[in-house]
């Protein structure tokens, strides 16, 4: 049973001396007739201080007092996004205190991207939070690596299962196998914000009707240096870009930005818990490449392929685009993107210069340019390996 | 409440690019000098565009972990942070003297003390020298040693060379090393010819770069002849044409860099003298490169 500590009651008395206390069904006031105490189920007035101190210790009132103390004194109102998220994690605005306390005793879960946050009731009405990967729901603590410092989440979210760098924190490739078993509210939010930076602030701004969405046009027009060119990406290509990068299979954020305020993109924005308010740096960097590629005119090439070979090429594109390469079994030559089958296609249809069906990319030169356009080096060069002035390249 | 936000370039390709930034933030966080210490990146998350909304404090000290004044510090960062009415003349800088400008972030309403980059702060000279100490494992290194500060070059940003010259001059003024030379990747005097510029047998080479990456891990070691192929590694020191080259890697990875970040914030009015002393003490134990 949750109890109420003297310092919690003292704090309540201090607060009520300043102004009426009002939270989640609890109301305490101090006027000429003495103290008044009100909950949805009972009310007292004309109480002396000792009588108030007695009244707040009744089994029915205690949860209201510890609940008040947790939200107003322990959490406070300073970090408004943090407070909003933690209240969301126990649906505080929807359920009365006694009901919530019952639910918190067995744990209340909130999914946030690929993680799940479980809020439970700690000592004296304090809440404790556990964070783990959704794939690890129901797994014993002992089987997971336990962490206690929110900043440990930085390392956990930097690499995927195969040890590859995750430049996009909201890519659905967060590794599992870890748990933050016992965090306070501040550290819980810090942990989530390390895994999904700025997600809580943007979610709450949206909730408050105050999310500042910057659409594609505006973002593109703002760019300078080597990204200046993205403004020229044709509208159709912006749609393809959104389809390529900003759907649930690639990013857990829900895309709220459109082509501009008057023109929605056709691509589905996704169903993520937290909003994407502006094209991210990955999208802008990719757009730069596509802007350059989209400047090329199409040409007519003539290839001799069997129907199965054409379908195989389509299967290869699909497998790469959907990141299914690892799922295709080594000996499964029924899959178009199977490695042996792809090697057979290459052996049969590529010439020594790597040209499909012996058709040169540049017919007049008769050879294939292995290195692509010069932009490739710039793309790599501007990406941090170079120092701070590198974005002026080009 | 006062917050510190450290801003850096970051990378879509290389996770090591942001490692020093996180480490310096951790060092400063441990001093407790700020209520919050956050990091923001051009190429990583939280983005420059959104980092301020992850900060609860109304008073924010923003320090760019960049080497020189220029495109990033003057255009990109103020624009992405939405610093209202920013004008580079507020810094009234000659390319080396940007210190602080106080502005309001339009979207969050926070007061932002926007600082000059770490690379041009005078305390950076101490970090360069500390790097020489850690790479040689000798806290008194100097006598009998040459010292080279390496920069990218003036090809695209003239202020980049100014920072290199500035610190080379200051190291020279310490009278600690026998010889001091500024060298560049892309212009004369070139780092390729490092041995031509020194009479001393031992030469410490410190690139004035924020993070280790392509230039500091691949280009410069190969250019200096420490190795034919960076993938096979090199010794510290490595012998090149009769000189022992003590190659230090990017100065930005030195623990004492956290001190320069604090100095910038302190110059901008943050009340953190005690933290500066703590960081100076705590980062004294930095391991030598390669350990």
The residue range of the domain holding B262 is 2-120+255-289
- Rounded to the nearest angstrom, the minimum Cα separation between A115 and chain B is 18
Instruction: Residue window 132-191, chain B: list those with CB within 8 Å of chain A.
Output: 152, 156-157, 160
Residues B55 and B126 in one domain: no
- What pLDDT, in 10s, does the model give residues A286-310? 999 999 999 999 999 999 999 999 9
Rounded mean pLDDT, B278-287? 75
Residues B144 and B190 in one domain: yes
**Inter-helix orientation angle B158-173/B123-136, to 10°:** 70
Closest CA relative to residue B73, chosen from B51, B101, B52: B101
Residues B180 and B268 in one domain: no
Question: Residue A333's pLDDT is what?
Answer: 96
Residues B68 and B96 in one domain: yes
Q: Does B54 contact A at CB distance below 8 Å?
A: yes
Among left, alpha and beta (phi > 0; psi -120 to 50; other), residue A214 is beta
Q: Does B249 contact A at CB distance below 8 Å?
A: no
- Rounded to the nearest angstrom, the minimum Cα separation between A165 and chain B is 6
Q: Determine, for residues A197 and B211 on separate chains, whether the beta-carbon distance falls below 8 Å.
A: no
Q: Determine, for residues B45 and A159 on separate chains, whether the beta-carbon distance falls below 8 Å.
A: no
- What pLDDT, in 10s, does the model give residues A160-183? 999 999 999 999 999 999 999 999
Question: Residue B283's pLDDT is what?
Answer: 84
Residues B190 and B285 in one domain: no
Q: Is-contact A71 A89, C-beta < 8 A?
A: no
Long-range contacts of A357-363 (CB under 8 A, 24+ apart): A357/A303, A357/A304, A357/A305, A359/A301, A359/A302, A359/A303
Among the partner-chain residues A168, A197, A381, the one whose CB lies closest to the CB of B54 is: A197
CATH number at residue B129: 3.40.50.1400
Closest CA relative to residue A281, chosen from B66, B11, B19: B11
Q: Is-contact B43 A281, C-beta < 8 A?
A: yes
| B23: nearest CA partner in chain A | A151
3-state secondary structure chain B: CEEEEEEECCCCCCHHHHHHHHHHHHHHHHHCCCCEEEEEECCCCCECCCHHHHCCCCEEEEEECCCCCCHHHHHHHHHHCCECCCCHHHHCCCCCCCCEEEEEECCCCCEEEEECCHHHCCHHHHHHHHHHHHHHCCCCCCCCEEEEEEECCCCCCHHHHHHHHHHHHHHHHCCCCCEEEEEECCCCCEHHHHHHHCCCCEEEEEECCCCCCHHHHHHHHHHCCCCCCHHHCCCCCEEECCEEEEECCCHHHCCCHHHHHHHHHHHCCCCCHHHHHHHHHHHHHCCCCCC
Residues B269 and B279 in one domain: yes
Q: Determine, for residues B67 and A388 on separate chains, whether the beta-carbon distance falls below 8 Å.
A: yes
Rounded mean pLDDT, A155-161? 96
Residues B148 and B76 in one domain: no
Residues B77 and B138 in one domain: no
Instruction: Residue window 84-143, chain A: list those with CB within 8 Å of chain B.
Output: none
- Provide the 10 A C-beta neighbour count for residue A327: 11
Q: What pLDDT band is residue A389 in, cutting at 50, 70 and 90?
A: very low
For the sheet with B100-104, list strands across it.
B36-41, B2-8, B59-64, B111-115, B100-104
Q: Determine, for residues A384 and B54 on separate chains, whether the beta-carbon distance falls below 8 Å.
A: no
| A381: nearest CA partner in chain B | B214
- Residues from chain B that touch A175, judged by Cβ atoms under 8 A, are none
Q: Determine, for residues A197 and B66 on separate chains, whether the beta-carbon distance falls below 8 Å.
A: no
Question: Residue A384's pLDDT is what?
Answer: 38
The burial class, CB within 10 Å (0-12 / 13-18 / 19+), for A330 is exposed
Question: Residue B284's pLDDT is what?
Answer: 78
Q: Where are the domains of chain A?
A: 6-73, 79-207, 216-293, 307-377
Residues B42 and B101 in one domain: yes
Interface test with A, best of B6, B9, B79, B209 (most A CBs within 10 A): B9
Q: Is-contact B103 B85, C-beta < 8 A?
A: yes
Q: Determine, for residues A280 and B45 on separate chains, whether the beta-carbon distance falls below 8 Å.
A: yes
Please, how many CA atoms are within 13 Å of residue B217, restricted to the half-sphere of its CB?
A: 16
Question: Residue B6's pLDDT is what?
Answer: 98
Q: Read off φ and ψ for residue A380, nearest 5 degrees.
A: -75, -40
Determine how β-strand B145-151 pairs with β-strand B111-115: unpaired
Beta-bridge mates of residue B239 = B244
Which positions ≥6 away from A19 have C-beta within 8 Å?
none
Q: Does A377 contact B at CB distance below 8 Å?
A: no
Residues B217 and B265 in one domain: no
Residues B26 and B94 in one domain: yes
Q: What pLDDT band is residue B1 in, cutting at 50, 70 and 90?
A: confident
Mean of all residue pLDDT scores within chain B: 94
Q: How many domains does chain B have?
A: 2
- What pLDDT, in 10s, does the model give residues A50-66? 999 999 999 999 999 99
Q: Determine, for residues A78 and B56 on separate chains, whether the beta-carbon distance falls below 8 Å.
A: yes
Q: What pLDDT band is residue A315 in, cutting at 50, 70 and 90?
A: very high
| B15: nearest CA partner in chain A | A165
Closest CA relative to residue A265, chosen from A283, A288, A292, A285: A283
Instruction: Residue window 276-295, chain A: list those with CB within 8 Å of chain B.
Output: 277-278, 280-282, 285
Among the partner-chain residues B46, B54, B213, the one whose CB lies closest to the CB of A384 is: B213
How much is the pTM?
0.92
Q: Does B39 contact A at CB distance below 8 Å?
A: no
| A388: nearest CA partner in chain B | B66
Task: Kindly report the CATH number that applies to the domain delimited by A79-207.
Answer: 3.30.1360.190
Task: Say whether pLDDT at A374 is over 50.
Answer: no
Rounded mean pLDDT, A374-392? 39
Q: Determine, for residues A383 and B13 on separate chains, whether the beta-carbon distance falls below 8 Å.
A: yes
Q: Is-contact A273 A207, C-beta < 8 A?
A: no
Q: What pLDDT band is residue A2 in, cutting at 50, 70 and 90?
A: low
Four-way CATH pick for A216-293: 3.30.70.2320, 3.40.50.300, 3.50.50.60, 1.20.58.1690: 3.30.70.2320
Q: Does B76 contact A at CB distance below 8 Å?
A: yes
Closest CA relative to residue A391, chosen from B71, B194, B53: B71
Question: Residue A365's pLDDT is what?
Answer: 56
Question: Residue A73's pLDDT is what?
Answer: 95
Q: Is-contact A385 B213, C-beta < 8 A?
A: yes
- Rounded to the nearest angstrom, the minimum Cα separation between B144 and chain A is 31
Among left, alpha and beta (phi > 0; psi -120 to 50; other), residue B242 is left
Q: Determine, for residues A167 and B13 on separate chains, whether the beta-carbon distance falls below 8 Å.
A: yes
Structure tokens at A120: 């439970």
**Inter-helix orientation angle B19-31/B273-282, to 10°:** 120
Q: Determine, for residues A282 and B12 on separate chains, whether the beta-carbon distance falls below 8 Å.
A: yes
- Rounded to the nearest angstrom, the minimum Cα separation between A190 and chain B is 9
Share of chain A above pLDDT 70, in %: 92
Structure tokens at B191: 């780092």
Q: Is-contact B53 A202, C-beta < 8 A?
A: yes
Q: Does B49 contact A at CB distance below 8 Å?
A: yes
Please, how many CA atoms are within 13 Å of residue A107, restricted to the half-sphere of its CB?
A: 12
Closest CA relative to residue A159, chosen from A179, A173, A144, A143: A173
Q: Does A167 contact B at CB distance below 8 Å?
A: yes
3-state secondary structure chain A: CCCCCHHHHHHHHHHHHHCCEEECCEEEEEECCEEEEECCCCEEEEECHHHHHHHCCCCCCHHHHHHHHHHHHHHCCCCHHHHHHHHHCCCCCCCCHHHHHHHHHHCEEEEECCEEEEEEECHHHCEEEEEEEHHHCCCCHHHCEECCCCCHHHHHCCECCCCCECCCCCCCCCCCCEEEEEECHHHHHHHHHHHCCCHHHHHHHHHCCCCCCCCHHHHHHHCCHHHHHHHHCCHHHHHHHHHHHCCCCCCCCEECCCCECCECCCCCCCCCCCEECCCCHHHHHHHHHHHHHCCCCCCCCCCCCCHHHHHHHHHHHHHHHCCCHHHCCCCCCCCCCCHHHHHHHHHHHECCCCCECCCCCECCCCECCCCCCCHHHHHHHCCCCCCCCHHHCC
Q: What pLDDT band is residue B280 in, cutting at 50, 70 and 90?
A: confident
- Rounded to the nearest angstrom, the minimum Cα separation between B200 and chain A is 30
Q: How far apart are CA B249 and CA B199, in angstroms?
A: 22
Rounded mean pLDDT, A61-77? 96
């Amino acid at each position: 049973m949750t109890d109420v500590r003297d310092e919690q009651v003292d704090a309540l008395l201090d607060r009520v001396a300043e102004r009426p206390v009002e939270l989640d069904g609890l109301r305490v006031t101090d006027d000429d007739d003495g103290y008044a105490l009100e909950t949805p189920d009972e009310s007292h007035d004309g109480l002396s201080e000792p009588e108030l101190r007695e009244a707040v210790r009744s089994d029915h009132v205690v949860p209201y007092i510890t609940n008040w103390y947790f939200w107003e004194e322990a959490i406070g109102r300073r970090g408004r996004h943090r407070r909003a998220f933690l209240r969301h994690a126990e649906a505080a605005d929807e359920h009365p205190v006694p009901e919530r306390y019952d639910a918190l005793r067995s744990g209340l879960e909130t999914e946030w991207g690929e993680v799940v946050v479980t809020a439970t009731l700690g000592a004296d009405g304090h809440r404790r939070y556990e964070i783990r990967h959704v794939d690890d729901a129901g797994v014993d603590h002992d089987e997971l690596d336990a962490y206690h410092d929110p900043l440990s989440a930085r390392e956990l979210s930097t690499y995927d299962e195969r040890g590859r760098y995750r430049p996009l924190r909201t890519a659905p490739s967060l590794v599992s196998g870890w748990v933050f078993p016992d965090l306070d509210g501040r550290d819980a939010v810090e942990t989530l914000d390390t895994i999904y930076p700025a997600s809580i602030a943007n979610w709450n701004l949206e909730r408050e009707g105050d999310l500042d969405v910057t659409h594609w046009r505006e973002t593109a027009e703002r760019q300078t240096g080597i990204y200046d060119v993205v403004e020229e990406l044709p509208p159709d290509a912006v749609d393809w870009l959104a389809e390529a990068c900003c759907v649930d299979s690639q990013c857990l954020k829900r895309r709220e930005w459109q082509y501009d305020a008057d023109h929605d993109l056709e691509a589905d924005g996704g169903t993520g818990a937290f909003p994407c308010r502006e094209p991210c740096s990955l999208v802008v960097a990719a757009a730069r490449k596509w802007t350059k590629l989209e400047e090329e005119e199409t040409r007519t090439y003539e290839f001799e392929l069997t129907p199965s070979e054409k379908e195989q090429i389509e299967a290869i594109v699909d497998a790469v685009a959907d990141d299914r390469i690892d799922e295709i079994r080594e000996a499964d030559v029924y899959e178009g993107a199977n490695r042996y089958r792809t090697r057979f296609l290459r052996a049969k249809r590529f010439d020594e210069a790597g040209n499909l069906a012996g058709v040169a990319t540049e017919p007049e030169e008769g050879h294939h340019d292995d290195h692509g356009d010069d932009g490739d080096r710039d793309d790599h060069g501007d990406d941090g390996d170079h120092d701070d002035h590198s974005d002026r390249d080009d | 409440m006062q917050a510190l936000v450290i801003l850096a370039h970051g990378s879509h390709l290389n996770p090591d690019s942001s490692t020093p930034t996180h480490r310096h933030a951790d060092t400063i966080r441990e001093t407790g000098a700020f209520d919050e210490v956050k990091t923001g990146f051009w190429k990583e998350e939280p983005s420059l565009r959104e980092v301020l909304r992850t900060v609860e404090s109304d008073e924010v000290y923003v320090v760019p972990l960049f080497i020189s004044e220029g495109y990033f510090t003057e255009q990109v960062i103020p624009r992405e942070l939405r610093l209202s009415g920013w004008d580079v003349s507020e810094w009234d800088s000659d390319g080396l003297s940007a210190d602080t400008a106080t502005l309001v972030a339009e979207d969050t309403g926070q007061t932002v003390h926007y600082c000059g980059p770490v690379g041009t702060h005078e305390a950076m000279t101490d970090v360069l020298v500390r790097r020489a100490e850690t790479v040689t494992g000798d806290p008194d290194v100097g006598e009998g040693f040459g010292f080279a500060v390496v920069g990218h070059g003036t090809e695209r940003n003239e202020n980049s060379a100014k920072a290199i010259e500035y610190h080379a001059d200051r190291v020279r003024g310490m009278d600690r090393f026998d010889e001091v030379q500024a060298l560049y990747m892309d212009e004369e005097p070139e780092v390729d010819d490092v041995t031509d510029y020194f009479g001393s047998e031992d030469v410490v080479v410190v690139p004035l770069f924020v993070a280790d990456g392509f230039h500091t891990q691949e280009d410069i070691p190969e250019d200096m002849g420490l190795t034919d192929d960076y993938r096979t590694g090199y010794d510290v020191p490595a012998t090149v044409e009769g000189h022992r080259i003590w190659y230090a890697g990017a100065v930005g990875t030195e623990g004492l860099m956290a001190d320069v970040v604090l100095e910038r914030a302190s110059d901008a009015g943050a009340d953190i003298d005690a933290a500066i002393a703590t960081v100076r003490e705590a980062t004294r134990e930095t391991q030598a490169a390669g350990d």
